Structure 1
């Protein structure tokens, strides 16, 4: 099941609603600490634990964690450089009922628990606290962050400080954007969430789950399974790569509109001549333009013809450098199409759309989706799928081996196939399916593959969703 990804304000509102309905802050803290202690106990396996507690409620969670681990039989030391400054944290420290050190003397401890500062931090740590944090992390075998590592901005994943890496991060109540966004996410090896009983949480982002894809119906034929057209350009290799990926992603018929001479596989139908002729086939369910398109006058012409054809589009690569919001605002609904920018292309879309580059990747993807009226796959190590209505899906971290030339062409090919095969015409679902299949193909391909090998693994990825 997908998990919500909530901002600090959304989490604060959920906590306030729970408190207004009769749940005390102390009870929420008890649930958070007990749930986190369960995960830490699984990691520590009875080894000695050092808990670093801050002055706020995150530190209060740390005191509860320490108490529950001690009750289970673990040897626990608590370090608190600052005294509690909330009533709930003070009560939790009193319930701990054992000694607390203001500094660490490097005695004992194999598992370090960072409960210094969590969600809501808006500035960096003091030099003393940063030094203490790193010393604890470096001198323990394993490190655990409670809710978020200290020194991380919750809503955008920015790092206020140089932070250590953590073997386990226990998110309290719900995942936060920093758990899935760069630059924070790579520091978090394993993230687990504890339900603290907040009930319904209002959120606009969630995680990407494995899609459920149905096999073709018993009476299916090549056109009913989805006809995907790939519009070629100056560099035919990229469009061929996308076409191959589209075949593996389930399209029943893949055509390539290109006048470039070259070795085209026999199972991909090449249509040469005027692009208008290729686009006029009413059986086309979706088209892809951008991979290998180029940026010259002919490229602009091919993009304009594709936009005017009234066909659901996947727009990738070079096409993203020259498209404008005005070009996507024809007399039709454009949220049936998908843009697939990487970071540089996302910045071009912002510039062409008169948008300021600010906020988290979630914020930026939402603004581009709203401005262009399309679904946006803001791809990269922290891929975001955004809808014009503000709904976002955050993909889990994919294999870093996907950082290879042509990987984006493969993703675009998967996306046009999933859009072409969509029975309900839902471009957002098609985009989510494409991102998941692309990452899974990377896992199947293993280490150090070329983009062609990645495209050949798409079919196996699709099998895992049936």
Structure 2
């Protein structure tokens, strides 16, 4: 049974389809199932409008012939535009079964892109780009089947410039990485999934979904719920913001190791002074956060060294990521979460000697090198664990592009870690709660407003 949260590479998708064929399916039967499933969506979207299907030479084009035949059977006015003849047996058979209209152009309603799907690694010809662009202009909506033509399925990289944006993309069998990675993600429109019966694959990446959290046990107290220690620095506002987010992320108590508090700080924070090594030695402390507002001077370096040497479950963000070196990660056994944005990711990869690669390659290599869970932040946030687990987050609101939103994320993450989640689970829960809090906060929020919505986001998981 297809898991709707799994994300397949092209190779994994081919293996999953081959497994179905080995059990008695055929390419043709899978094509019929996929095409009729997509036709269901198009029929609803078209709502009586005409449909033009662009059919390429491969099996994606074969899906297009099945779609066209099914829509025609339902009474939709359909035109097929096929710039080339079918090149596979299954596509040829699907074309032979199509009894409708062919033309050199369509007009008006929904344009369906079945030129090429997942697996394409070469650019479209200029003629096909021109055809796709011209037909997109002539129609009021564009729907791509599986993966939009001209997109690398495994990386989300456009193989051509100037490709039109889609209103809807219907994935076949399982999600592909291009559906959730920039820059392709921005041109997918609404995403839908048509199951075709493929089985889950062990170790496949997953799409982040709503976590199932719980209320504290009836006999819980502040220390059993988790004690967070946040390390302050030269910019106290960032650490206070992270602390306030941690208070709402499920931990029972949050301590801020700093010299003082801003007058606007919540009275719920516990201010702790004194030597950091003594605070870290408190056995009740279940997770530590360092980085927001930490600074980059020698004092900050010493603090970071003491935090990591204490070997407690730890989240590192902001300045701590700039100061982090491979030696800091040696001999650690406790969970470690790193939350870099794009620039911090580049600096970490340089520090850890990771060669250039695509976004997923770099995150997974860094996770292995640092033996840490890496939350690579951005419009296409991904979470990579050192054991190979990988999760991608659905796009959150673009209003998250505000100063301090990363501090809020790190505060949520350390709270989930303190509450007892393993590093990967804590990171996934934090990213989901962060995105949901942003949705609840509405437009043009501040980071403090975002933090205030974490409790309501948590409520959505109960």
- Post-superposition offset of 1:298: 1.0
Match runs of 1:168-183 below 5 Å: 168-183=168-183
Name the TM-score, length of structure 2 as normaliser.
Answer: 0.97
Q: Distance in 1 between matches of 2:269 and 2:200?
A: 49
**Which residue in 1 is equivalent to 2:194?**
194
- Post-superposition offset of 1:273: 2.5
- Post-superposition offset of 1:260: 4.8
- Post-superposition offset of 1:365: 1.5
Contact 2:308-2:329 at 8 Å conserved across structures: yes
> What per-residue deviation string (whole Å, max 9, x for no partner) do you get for residues 202-237 of structure 1?
552011110111101111111111101110111111
Contact 2:56-2:116 at 8 Å conserved across structures: yes
Contact 2:157-2:182 at 8 Å conserved across structures: yes
Q: Distance in 1 between matches of 2:59 and 2:18?
A: 14
**Which residue in 1 is equivalent to 2:251?**
251
- Post-superposition offset of 1:314: 0.4
Residue 364 of structure 1 pairs with residue 330 of structure 2: no
Residue 457 of structure 1 pairs with residue 425 of structure 2: no
Residue range with higher mean Cα deviation, 432-441 or 189-198: 189-198
What is the number of equivalent residue pairs in this alignment?
Answer: 458
**Which residue in 2 is equivalent to 1:134?**
133
For 2:102, what is the secondary structure of its paired residue? coil
Query: Mind listing any 5+ residue stretches in structure 2 that lack a counterpart?
Result: none
Match runs of 1:63-74 below 5 Å: 63-74=65-76
> What per-residue deviation string (whole Å, max 9, x for no partner) do you get for residues 417-450 of structure 1?
111012xx41211111100000000001100011
Residue 60 of structure 1 pairs with residue 62 of structure 2: yes
Contact 1:234-1:260 at 8 Å conserved across structures: no
**Which residue in 1 is equivalent to 2:223?**
223
**Which residue in 2 is equivalent to 1:112?**
111
- Post-superposition offset of 1:42: 1.2
- Post-superposition offset of 1:189: 1.7
Contact 1:53-1:78 at 8 Å conserved across structures: yes
Contact 2:237-2:262 at 8 Å conserved across structures: no
**Which residue in 1 is equivalent to 2:271?**
270
> What per-residue deviation string (whole Å, max 9, x for no partner) do you get for residues 374-417 of structure 1?
11111111111111111111111100000101000000000011
The 1:217/1:202 distance shift into structure 2, 3 A limit, reads closer
- Post-superposition offset of 1:272: 1.8
The 1:172/1:203 distance shift into structure 2, 3 A limit, reads farther
Contact 1:14-1:202 at 8 Å conserved across structures: no
For 1:74, what is the secondary structure of its paired residue? coil
- Post-superposition offset of 1:301: 0.5
- Post-superposition offset of 1:271: 1.1
The 1:118/1:278 distance shift into structure 2, 3 A limit, reads same
Q: Distance in 2 between matches of 1:41 and 1:282?
A: 61
Name the TM-score, length of structure 1 as normaliser.
Answer: 0.96
For 1:22, what is the secondary structure of its paired residue? coil
Q: Distance in 2 between matches of 1:262 and 1:448?
A: 24
Contact 1:228-1:416 at 8 Å conserved across structures: yes
**1:100 counterpart (82, 102, 114):** 102
Q: Distance in 2 between matches of 1:325 and 1:76?
A: 60
For 1:141, what is the secondary structure of its paired residue? strand
Match runs of 1:38-437 below 5 Å: 38-101=40-103, 103-104=104-105, 106=106, 108-161=107-160, 162-260=162-260, 262-263=262-263, 264-330=265-331, 332-334=332-334, 336-359=335-358, 361-422=359-420, 425-437=421-433
Q: Distance in 1 between matches of 2:198 and 2:425?
A: 28
Contact 1:2-1:209 at 8 Å conserved across structures: no
Contact 1:286-1:313 at 8 Å conserved across structures: yes
Contact 1:285-1:420 at 8 Å conserved across structures: yes
**Which residue in 1 is equivalent to 2:28?**
26
- Post-superposition offset of 1:83: 0.9
